[in-house]
Amino acid sequence: MAIQSKMWILNTCQEIQHPWTDKCTNAVAGLLLSSTPYCLKVYTMVYMLSMLMRHKVPTKRDLHKMVLGILQSTAFLVTNAYTFTLFACLIRNLLGGFHISTVAFIPSVLSSFSAIVVERPKRRSLLALYVANVATETLWNMAEARGWVKSIPNGQALIFGSSISVLLYMYRLGLHQSNTCKDSMFDILRIFVGKTEEGPLKSLQTTSEESANQSRSPINLSSISGLVQIYSKFLRAIKGRHQCCPHQVSCLHYVLMGGLRPLLGGISLQVALKILLNIKNIIQMKIKWHKNMFTTKTLNLGLFMGCFSLLYKATSCTLRHSFNFDDARFAIPAGLLSSISFIFYPDITVALYVMWKMLQTIYNVGIEKKYVPYMPGFTMILYTLCTATLFHAGIVEPRTLRESYFKFLQAISGERFCKFQLGPLDAFGYDTGRATEEVRHRLRIINKSPLPKWSLADW
């Protein structure tokens, strides 16, 4: 990567951000008009899908609340779009040029904060976690492009494993039942590992024989005899259920069925999604079933879910058999070992989502126990800084931005994003012009018209 040659460029905002009009007010108004239909369409689909997932007939009040939510969320996203150009042009006119920070980052800080204030407080946390997920990946790509870090094979499995282990530990402790940690993430964990593994742990009544077994000397894992004891106890686990295990069936049945159900569920979900995405081709009888439906990729989600549940339950039962007691801390090695299954479905988005959920939960627990101070407006600040990072990457360092988010910026801008003249930004040393063309070509983003939607060029 080239070293920055300048910190300032004296180009006008028309030469870079709105070459179709020489008036900044027209550029801002045009973006406002073109982004509104797209944002309205997006949030109409989001809210309707959320309504359908509740599995109940909506009342008149529910519909009224949904319409108001759609309008408010649309106003939020539109505000984030058009005020970016507003602040970018305003700052450029005040300073007389562009600094590396004023091309995208600072205008986006101002526009993102203005937008998140408009959105409902209940949705701010969800939005902050989403952009934090994408921004984390983007910052890593930036650091890797500069040679500061280096990616390792299956690194996303390490992120997923360490994060899910902490969440599973909290799940076994029963912390998820408090209002502080209550989150939909634990509902997903309940599907994977079952309700029987849910905490807090219950005290079990043991017989005199069981008590005698528990009073035996602890197993020395550093010796061969200790490993032999673990193996022997694992064989006994196949024949029955250990008194410390919370399930009622044999451990073998518990482990095998625990892996089979998520396996079939994951495969069914993948098939259902493929059918939904190819419904048009299915109706027209144009689909090639062996290429589109019955492929090895269809098994990936099911293999991940099934192996994760199987390995977690097998490890948990083995530890209970080995140490003759149950402990919430067993969730940590069980979670780490079961995360090996993530190699079947190595999705960085899922890994980062779990990581941020873990950090959010730990932060909430820390506030409750007064280990960390409560920061008013932290969610809004997180959203603001992460969104600004994404806007900066999309304009200045497009190779580092996730492709789906680049397409989103193109859509929300009314196809203006591909019309920016970013060649002058090469002066900052990031090879922005060529990188942008490469990304546009790879994503097949084509300038269909010299003017964007609602260009207002003649006004």
Q: Does residue 218 fall inside a structural domain?
A: no
198: amino acid identity, one letter:
E
Q: What 3-state class would DSSP assign to 98?
A: strand
Confidence of residue 206 (pLDDT cuts 50, 70, 90): very low
Q: Do 262 and 307 belong together in one domain? A: yes
Q: Do 119 and 261 belong together in one domain? A: no
Q: What 3-state class would DSSP assign to 178?
A: coil
Give the number of other CB atoms < 10 A from CB of residue 286: 10
Paired with 9 in beta bridges are: 98
Q: Do 129 and 167 belong together in one domain? A: no
Q: Does residue 432 fall inside a structural domain?
A: yes
Mean pLDDT of 80-86: 95
Mean pLDDT of 310-330: 91
Tell me phi and psi for residue 411, to 5 degrees: -70, -45
Q: Which of 227-231, 239-243, 244-248, 391-395 has the lowest mean pLDDT?
A: 227-231
Tell me phi and psi for residue 99, to 5 degrees: -95, 160
**Residue 368 and residue 177 in contact, taking contact as beta carbons nearer than 8 Å:** no
| Domain ranges, residue 250 | 155-200+237-345
pLDDT of 234 above 70: no
Mean pLDDT of 41-51: 90
Q: What is the pLDDT of residue 57?
A: 82
pLDDT of 278 above 90: no
Q: What 3-state class would DSSP assign to 9?
A: strand
Q: Do 40 and 12 belong together in one domain? A: yes
Q: What is the pLDDT of residue 153?
A: 87
The number of folded domains in the chain is: 2
Q: Does residue 361 fall inside a structural domain?
A: no
pLDDT of 1 above 60: no
- Reference 138, options 411, 381, 444, 403; nearest CA is 403
- Among 345, 367, 401, where does a domain finish? 345
**Crossing angle of helices 378-395 and 121-145, rounded to 10°:** 40
Confidence of residue 219 (pLDDT cuts 50, 70, 90): low
Confidence of residue 221 (pLDDT cuts 50, 70, 90): low
Q: What is the pLDDT of residue 2?
A: 39
Identify which has the larger pLDDT, 4 or 401: 401
Confidence of residue 311 (pLDDT cuts 50, 70, 90): very high
164: amino acid identity, one letter:
I
Q: Do 86 and 24 belong together in one domain? A: yes
**Residue 31 and residue 86 in contact, taking contact as beta carbons nearer than 8 Å:** no
pLDDT of 235 above 70: no
Q: Does residue 358 fall inside a structural domain?
A: no
Q: Does residue 395 fall inside a structural domain?
A: yes
What percent of the chain has pLDDT above 70?
A: 86
pLDDT of 415 above 70: yes
Q: What is the pLDDT of residue 279?
A: 72
Q: Which of 79-83, 88-92, 286-290, 398-402 has the lowest mean pLDDT?
A: 286-290
Per-residue b/e over 221-242, b at no fewer than 16 CB within 10 Å?
A: eeeeeeeebbeebeeebeeebb
Q: Do 322 and 266 belong together in one domain? A: yes
Q: What is the pLDDT of residue 213?
A: 47
Q: What is the pLDDT of residue 357?
A: 93
pLDDT of 5 above 60: no
User: Can you spell out the DSSP letters for 408-451?
Assistant: HHHHHTTS-GGG---GGGGGGTS-HHHHHHHHHHHTT----SSS
pLDDT of 287 above 70: no
Q: Do 250 and 271 belong together in one domain? A: yes
Q: Do 57 and 171 belong together in one domain? A: no
Q: Does residue 449 fall inside a structural domain?
A: no
Q: What is the pLDDT of residue 452?
A: 84
Separation CA 159–CA 152 (nearest Å): 12
Q: What is the pLDDT of residue 353?
A: 93
Q: Do 245 and 261 belong together in one domain? A: yes
400: which residues sit within 8 A by CB, 6+ positions away? 138, 141, 142, 145, 393
Identify which has the larger pLDDT, 116 or 451: 116
Q: Does residue 121 fall inside a structural domain?
A: yes
Separation CA 248–CA 312 (nearest Å): 17
Separation CA 259–CA 347 (nearest Å): 20
- Reference 199, options 246, 234, 158; nearest CA is 246
Confidence of residue 251 (pLDDT cuts 50, 70, 90): confident
Q: What is the pLDDT of residue 210?
A: 46
438: which residues sit within 8 A by CB, 6+ positions away? 399
pLDDT of 227 above 60: yes
Q: Do 333 and 186 belong together in one domain? A: yes
Q: Count Cβ atoms within 10 A of the Cβ of residue 318 and give its class: 0-12 exposed, 13-18 middle, 19 or more buried.
A: buried
Q: Does residue 368 fall inside a structural domain?
A: no
Q: What is the pLDDT of residue 115?
A: 96
